[in-house]
Every structure is written in structure tokens, then in C-alpha cells.
A and B are shown apart, each in its own frame.
Chain A
Amino acid sequence: MARTVGFFTDTTLCIGCKACEVACKEWNQLPGHDPKFLDSFDNTGQLDDQNWRHVQFIERSTGNGGVAWSMMSDVCKHCSLASCMEVCPTNAIIRTEFDTVYIQPDVCNGCRDCIAACPYAVIGFNEKTGLAQKCTFCYGRLQNNLTPACAKVCPTQSIKFGELSEMRTVATARLQQLKAQGVSDAQLYGEKEYGGLHALFLLTDKPEAYKLPSVENAVLPSRNNARGYLASVVTAVLGVLGAVVAFRQRGEG
């Protein structure tokens, strides 16, 4: 039963409880890294092989002594045009029947090219398993018609899960509501980026503030193929010519 699923993470509803992080670890049996204190409420730090959801805490002064504290539960975007998938030489990274991006652990050989490619720093390398690991979109749960663990436990429905199309409508509706309430910098992220993300985010600041590249910076690795090879070819031609010339000159020159 092929479906096109998606997340809509509404940061205006997130209370930073990290239930999503824990549920993900529990369901996917990720032991997590050794505990480290990172001088803040966020001791997870980043998305990686152990952390497939990561709640960012963004503290801003709003002038006149006030503060704003936005929380955002970050996750693999399951990009329609996925940088990781593009470069993966072993085809370990596939698009599933749910239109999600999945790393087949039995195929991956740990070359880490995908890590170099993912613009969202989602994938991490697991030293123990020697594999690249990231959110599977709870592949197993989807196959059994269950909601992904993180969305299931989110108490405030900051993480919404459903058909991507439905998520888009919900997201736009919510955006309109906020605009109407005068939240001027409210914006949707993930409609245009990488052919449309399967994880949409409602933000109240520019994407960069949430470590998300702006739409013009959301570019694919393959953009550099042609240019890169062209430069090499030109160099090759010049190099060969140069050598030929150098070798032609006879005698003691």
C-alpha cells in the first residue's frame, strides 16, 4: 500500500519536552551516546547516528529585557530530491513505498559520502555498527500502519503525521492563522526545498536561525559535477599538451 507520508512540525506548539527524542530511542533501540552536559537545556546537541530527533532550544532576546525561547524538534527531512541518496555509491539509500528515504543497513558499507552530502547534518556514522544511521521514518511502524513513535508521543501535537498532501494543507492553514494573529515572521519551511521536504516546519524566524539552509542555499551535491569535471578535463588537456611540448624539446635545452 504505497503512500506519500510526511511530518508537519509546528514549532509554535513545541514545549521542548523531548518525548519525541526518547520515544525514538526506545522504539528504535538506540542506546544513545554517553551523557554530556552541554551548558544548556539541550544536552543532545545534534542529529546523528544515535539521535534521530533532536529538539533545538533557541533563546533570543526580544529587546526591552524580554526573551523568546523557541523549540524545534529536528528530524530527517526525507527530501524528495535527497542529497544523501544522490551520492550513495552502494544504493543503500532507497526511497520506500511511503516515499521516505531509508538507509538499508545490510547494504551500507560505511563510506560516509551521504554524510558529506546531507545539507541538514542528519546522518551520523555509528562506530560500532560501521553504518551510516538516521531516521527511518519508523519504516517498520509504517508497514504496520502505525504512527511514527515521535509523532505518537508528542503531547502537544507539535509533530503531526499524515499524508504529505494533508500535512501541506494543515501547515498552510496554521500559517494563515498565525499571520492573522499578527505573527509576521511566521513562515513555512520545506515546500520548495529539495523538491519538497517530507518534513515541513512552521518557523517564527528565518530558517538559518534553526540551522536550516535558506531556499537558495538548499542545493544538491550533483550541481558540482559538470563544473568539477570540466575543470579537470581542461587541466588534463593543458597538462598533456604541456608534457608533450616539454618532452619534444631535444638536447640539452
Chain B
Amino acid sequence: MPQHFVAPPLWAWYIVWYFFLGGLAGGAYLLGTLLRLNGDPRDEGVARLAFLVAFPAVVICPILLTLDLGHPLRFWHMLINSRTGGLNFKYWSPMSVGAWALLIFSFFVTVSFIEALFGAGWTRHSAARSIAGGLSGAFGHLFMVVGSLFGLFVAGYTGVLLSVSNQPVWSDTWALGGLFLASGLSVAAATLAILARSRADAVSTERKLSRADRFFVVLEILLLAAFFVTLGTLAGRLFAPRWIVLWVLVALGIVAPLVLNRVSGPGRLGSPGLAAFLVLLGGLALRIVLIFGAQM
């Protein structure tokens, strides 16, 4: 059992929500892209929703990060060296890489957001039109793919960020990055599924999403397994009484998509929605336990 004498960085709620929304945004952007590339016109509505959702999520992220700083007005020190004026980029420091990734991803999200607004006919602004124009066709696809890559990174690096430390639990496993990514995808799928239900034309898409979600959940289960295996006895501290409820939520968030979606009849009422909702709760719970549980 590895020795740890470190002090906790006291990362709290801001970080929990950042991790959650980062995963959601990254996942949503990817799913939006895939739905489009998939080429089924019935999916376009939900694809657009995906980009529309990604935007607010991504906007809140840097705000949360900044508020968490001891010196919020120095958020830009993450990117620019306040002494030399040069750029701060440390590929071996996830926090440094993540800051850049988030910046770049936000750019993609914003552009795709505008494009989606235009597509939905919610804006007729000339700038929006030209952007939409530019993104139609092959370039648009390439653009989304690249954006998705950054999306994936934003959804996953947060786990690596925790691991690249000397904190108990966090630094004793390699699974966190994957785990957060899988859970991020699952959360995104669930969110879209819920939103999809508002659209009459999205029945099939919602099914696809639920199917995808089941797959993500399986991934998540595998990574959780890996997580506990790598931790061994160290995992014990994550099961202090005060965390049990959260673990139940995590479990529900995993089991729900597997069980509930199956039993859902054609009426498509209730259960799938409930499943999706539980997934969101589970995703949040997972991050709370891992962030607070390791530090306390």
C-alpha cells in the first residue's frame, strides 16, 4: 500500500461541477458530430440539440475554474507567463494542457453552436449564415471531427489531472481518465436522450442514444473495475459511511440504462426518461465521491 503524507488541495464544488459539465460538453459535441456523420436525416434535430447543449456547458466551465482560483483575476496566468509574457504550456502538466484544450474546444463549440442556431432557424444573422455556409460539406465534417477530439480530451483529461499528483487514491490508479470520459459520454447520451423526448421526430434517435448509453455504461463498469483493482485496499477510504449514498446513486446511474431501457414499451413514457435522469445523478455522484472522498 503506497505511502501518502500529502496535504489535500481542497478542490471542492466548483471542480465537481466543472468535471461534470466538461464531460457533458465533450460528450455532447462528439455525439452531435457522430449523429451527423451517421447521415440519418432523422437524427439532425438531436444533433443540433447536442451542439446547442455543449455551448452553455462549455461557457460555465472556465467561470467555475476561475472562481476556484485564489486569485481569479489571474486566470490568464494559466496560459500566459505573467513574468516573461511568453506562453505557458507544459505537456506534462494536465492542468496546463487542459487549460489550452478547454480554450480551443470552446472555440469549436461556439462556432458549432452558432451554426446550430442558424440551422434551427433561430437566427438569421449574416455572420451566422456565412459560418453555416462555411461548415456545410466536407470542411464542416472535418471541423466537427477535430472539435470532437478536443471534446474527448476535455471530457477525459480531468481524470488524468487528478492522477498526476501525489494524492492518495487519485495518484494510485491509471483508470480515472477513462472513467471520467466514459461517464461523460454516458451523461451526454442521457442528456440528449432526455432532450430528444421533446421532439416528435426523434424517436429513433432516442433509441440510438439509449443504445449508445448502454455501451458507454458497460465501458464505465469496466473502468470502475479497473479503478478498484488498481487501488486495492486503498479504495477503502472511499467507502466511509458518508459516501455510501453516493455510491448507491452511482450504481443506479449505471444499472438504470441497462435495465430500464429494455423494459420500456412503445409507450416510451417513464422509464427511459427516469433512466437518463439516474445517469445524470450517477455521473455527478461519481465525481463527488472521487473528489471529496480522496481529500477527506
Contact = CB atoms under 8 A, between A and B. Distances in A.
Q: Do chains A and B touch in the complex (CB under 8 A)?
A: yes
Interface of A: 46, 48, 83, 86-92, 104, 106-113, 115-121, 123-127, 129-132, 208, 211-214, 217, 219, 221-222, 224-225, 227-232, 234-236, 238-240, 242-253
Contact of A243 (B30, B78, B165, B166): B30
A132 B164 CA distance: 18
A107 B38 CA distance: 47
B132 to A, nearest CB: 23
Contacts of B199: none
- B interface majority secondary structure: helix
B278 interface: no
7 contacts: A46-B7, A113-B165, A225-B92, A228-B160, A228-B164, A239-B181, A246-B214
B164 A89 contact: no
Given A89-B88, A125-B10, A242-B216, 7 more contacts: A89-B77, A91-B81, A109-B78, A110-B71, A119-B5, A232-B152, A239-B152
Interface residues of B, number: 72
Given A87-B95, A249-B208, A107 B40 contact: no
B219 A111 contact: no
B206 to A, nearest CB: 12
Given A217-B2, A239-B181, A247-B40, A88 B93 contact: yes
B134 interface: no
B223 A235 contact: yes
Q: 9 smallest A-B Cβ distances: which pairs?
A: A110-B70, A130-B70, A227-B174, A228-B160, A232-B177, A109-B74, A242-B215, A232-B156, A235-B178
B134 to A, nearest CB: 25
B202 to A, nearest CB: 13
A252 B160 contact: no
B163 A110 contact: no
B43 A247 contact: yes
Contacts of B164: 87, 117, 221-222, 224-225, 228
A232 B40 CA distance: 29
Given A91-B88, A119-B6, A246 B211 contact: yes
Nearest to A87: B93
Contacts of B30: 239-240, 243
B71 A232 contact: no
B204 interface: yes
B204 A225 contact: no
B78 A90 contact: yes
Contacts of A242: 212, 215-216, 219
Contacts of B208: 246-247, 249
A192 to B, nearest CB: 16
A131 B156 CA distance: 28
Contacts of B159: 228, 231-232
A213 to B, nearest CB: 5
Nearest to B78: A89
Interface in B1-57: 2-11, 30-31, 34-35, 38, 40, 43
A120 B35 CA distance: 49
A107 B82 contact: yes
A226 to B, nearest CB: 9
B163 A224 contact: yes
B207 interface: yes
A224 B171 contact: yes
B256 interface: no
B166 A221 contact: yes
A213 B77 CA distance: 32
Given A90-B82, A110-B71, A112-B70, A243 B212 contact: yes
A123 B7 contact: yes
A86 B92 contact: yes
Contact of B5 (A211, A235, A244): A211
Contacts of A118: 6-7, 166
A89 B215 contact: no
Given A225-B160, A239-B216, A117 B166 contact: yes
